[in-house]
């Protein structure tokens, strides 16, 4: 089935509060951030504006995983805790791979991941995290663009495309004045400067989505299978999205990939992407939302795994192709009885219209309406 684009998606607004919150996250050497109290807020929505039904929520709820959703999670936690007295949500942004591992071992009630679980991942949730015949399922929660950040003094409005990016990140293009880059940027003065690529050192859903984009849009130049772990040789590594952003900020000639909020908070230049549309596309939440509108649900309910290949290969004018949809992973049944009410209440809030719109100013875009309805049905059915 095709998902219709949510026409009411808010345009990206980069306000002072959003910048401050993102800086708080991006300034860390890693993404092991805890969002467990209102003081860790990303700012924005007030308690009075939060539409959350606490539904018996109480005590502490533990989650871990995706760094891409860390800024959103900070906001959601602040809002939900302000509404639901006595509840503490503790989310550790350890990376998608580490989050899934923590969930599989039963250490957390839910995991955040920017890539859906593979069958082997699901198998490891059965009988440990999920009892009584239950298993882990993928619940899409929020979308966002992956920015290509670069540090190239004197060069603004850099344009790249999928084949060129693939050759840069696999070490086939090694200098900024390479003919392929010049062809895409005929009016730019490109320096004779070595390219320094940075990729994630940890298992990352952002890496999985970026490599899936390269494999789909430039299959001749990127021949590795998409994966949470970086497969190509060469380049340098850093932990977490904040680690990558920090390296690009500091190192001239560098280039990397991370969620747009880290580029915004660090004032890092981002590349426009040539897709075959009439003009290259800059990274914005609206442009990414336009690409994700054609994503397909390929999971079997209650699992809602998405196929984003149509987004990666889009040639639609104004559609930005390097995107991710970040999931929450929970047990379809066999959740722990003491945390289930809090889990369902929290997931219901963050997937609601109020929860989705509360993070729009941080560079995320809401789920399409048809998918949001399926998500809420899945959450209400957790047991």
* Weakest-pLDDT range from 27-31, 96-100, 162-166: 27-31
The predicted model scores a pTM of: 0.80
Is the pLDDT score of 206 beyond 70?
A: yes
Question: Is the Cβ–Cβ distance between 231 and 222 less than 8 Å?
Answer: no
Are residues 337 and 360 part of one domain? yes
Residues 155 and 284 in one domain: yes
Clarify whether residues 172 and 209 are in a common domain. yes
| Position with higher pLDDT, 21 vs 213 | 213
Residues 25 and 137 both lie in one domain: yes
- pLDDT (tens digit, 9 = 90+) per residue, 83-100? 999 999 999 999 999 999
pLDDT confidence bin for 53, thresholds 50/70/90: confident
For the chain, where are the alpha helices, taking DSSP H only?
16-26, 70-83, 96-104, 119-123, 162-169, 179-184, 205-217, 240-250, 260-265, 285-292, 309-312, 340-350, 353-357, 369-380
- The pLDDT assigned to 75 comes to 96
- Residues 73 and 53 occupy one common structural domain: yes
Are 268 and 329 part of one and the same domain?
Answer: no
Q: Supply the range of the domain harboring residue 257.
A: 146-288
Q: What is the pLDDT of residue 48?
A: 35
Is the pLDDT at 340 greater than 50, yes or no?
yes
Q: Evaluate if residue 289 carries a pLDDT over 80.
A: yes
Q: Report pLDDT for 4.
A: 42
Q: What's the distance, CA 98 to chain centroid? A: 15
Domain count, the chain: 2
In this structure, are 130 and 170 located in the same domain?
no
- Does 24 score more than 80 pLDDT? no
Q: What is the rounded distance in angstroms from the CA atom of residue 148 to the CA atom of residue 263? A: 9
- Of 260, 288, 316, which residue sits at a domain end? 288
Query: Is the predicted pLDDT of residue 34 greater than 90, yes or no?
Result: no
11 lies in a domain? no
pLDDT tens for 107-117 read 999 999 999 99
Instruction: Give pLDDT, residue 32.
Output: 41
The residue-averaged pLDDT of 9-14 equals 34
Are 105 and 170 part of one and the same domain? no
Residue 1 domain-assigned (yes or no):
no
Is 38 strand, coil or helix?
Answer: helix
Indicate the residue among 235, 259, 288 that finishes a domain: 288
My answer on whether 151 and 120 are in the same domain is no
118's CB contacts (< 8 A; 6+ apart) are none
> Residues of the chain with pLDDT > 70: what percent?
86
Model pLDDT, residue 33:
40
Residues 65 and 192 in one domain: no
CATH number, position 118: 3.40.190.10
Q: Is 316 inside a domain boundary?
A: no
pLDDT-wise least confident of 18-32, 67-81, 326-340: 18-32
- What pLDDT score does 295 carry? 84
Confirm whether 360 is domain-assigned.
Answer: yes
Whose CA is closest to 185, among 150, 211, 217? Answer: 150
Mention every residue, 6+ apart, whose C-beta is less than 8 A from residue 296.
Answer: 1, 2, 3, 306, 307, 310
Which residue, 69, 66, 71, is CA-closest to 20? 71
Please determine, for residue 183, whether its predicted confidence score (pLDDT) is greater than 90.
yes
Comparing 33-42, 146-155, 349-358, the range with the smallest average pLDDT is: 33-42
pLDDT over 50 (residue 360)? yes
Q: Is residue 9 part of a domain?
A: no
- Mean pLDDT for 164-172 is 98
pLDDT at 369: 85
Q: Check residue 261 and give its pLDDT.
A: 85
- Domain membership of residue 77 (yes or no) is yes
- Do 212 and 284 fall within a single domain? yes
Query: What is the Cα–Cα distance from 297 to 300, expressed in whole angstroms?
Result: 8
Tokens of 325: 């949809």
Q: Specify which residues 249 forms β-bridges with.
A: none
Binned at pLDDT 50, 70 and 90, residue 44 comes out as very low
| Phi, psi for residue 261 in degrees, rounded to 5 | -65, -30
Q: Does residue 246 sit in the same domain as residue 113?
A: no
Residue 136 DSSP SS3: strand
Residue 52 is predicted with a pLDDT of 67
Say if 5 falls within a structural domain.
no
pLDDT digits (tens, 9 = 90+) for 258-273: 999 899 989 999 999 9
Q: Is residue 314 part of a domain?
A: no
């Amino acid at each position: 089935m095709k998902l219709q684009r949510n026409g009411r998606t808010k345009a990206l607004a980069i306000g002072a509060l959003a910048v401050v919150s993102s800086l708080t996250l991006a300034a860390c050497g890693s993404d092991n951030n805890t969002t467990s109290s209102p003081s860790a807020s990303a700012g924005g929505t007030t308690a009075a504006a939060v539409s959350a039904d606490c539904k018996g929520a109480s005590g502490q709820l533990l989650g871990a995983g995706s760094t891409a959703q860390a800024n959103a999670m900070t906001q959601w936690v602040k809002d939900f805790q302000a509404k639901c007295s006595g509840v503490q949500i503790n989310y550790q942004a350890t990376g998608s791979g580490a989050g899934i591992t923590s969930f599989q071992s039963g250490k957390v009630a839910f995991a955040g991941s920017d890539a859906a679980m593979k069958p082997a991942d699901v198998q490891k949730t059965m009988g440990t995290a999920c009892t009584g015949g239950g298993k882990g399922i993928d619940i899409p929660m929020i979308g966002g663009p992956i920015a290509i950040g670069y540090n190239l003094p004197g060069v603004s409005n850099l344009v790249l495309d999928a084949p060129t990016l693939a050759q840069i990140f696999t070490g086939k293009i090694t200098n900024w004045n390479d003919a392929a880059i010049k062809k895409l940027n005929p009016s730019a003065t490109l320096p004779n400067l070595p390219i320094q690529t940075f990729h994630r050192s940890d298992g990352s859903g952002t890496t999985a989505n970026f490599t899936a984009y390269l494999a789909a849009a430039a299959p001749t130049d990127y021949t590795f299978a998409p994966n949470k772990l970086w497969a190509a040789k060469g380049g340098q590594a850093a932990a977490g999205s904040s680690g990558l952003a920090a390296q690009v900020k500091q190192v001239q000639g560098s280039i990397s990939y991370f969620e747009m909020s880290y580029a915004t908070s660090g004032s890092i230049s981002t590349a426009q992407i040539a897709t075959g549309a009439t003009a290259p596309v800059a990274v914005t939440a609206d442009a990414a939302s336009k690409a994700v509108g054609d994503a397909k649900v390929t999971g079997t309910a209650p699992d809602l795994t998405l196929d984003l290949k149509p987004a990666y290969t889009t040639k639609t004018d104004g559609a930005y192709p390097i995107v991710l949809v970040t999931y929450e992973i929970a047990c379809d049944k066999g959740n722990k009885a003491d945390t289930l009410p809090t889990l369902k209440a929290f997931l219901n809030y963050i997937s609601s219209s109020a929860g989705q719109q509360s993070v729009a100013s941080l560079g995320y875009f809401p789920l399409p309406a048809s998918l949001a309805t399926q998500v809420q049905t899945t959450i209400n059915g957790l047991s």
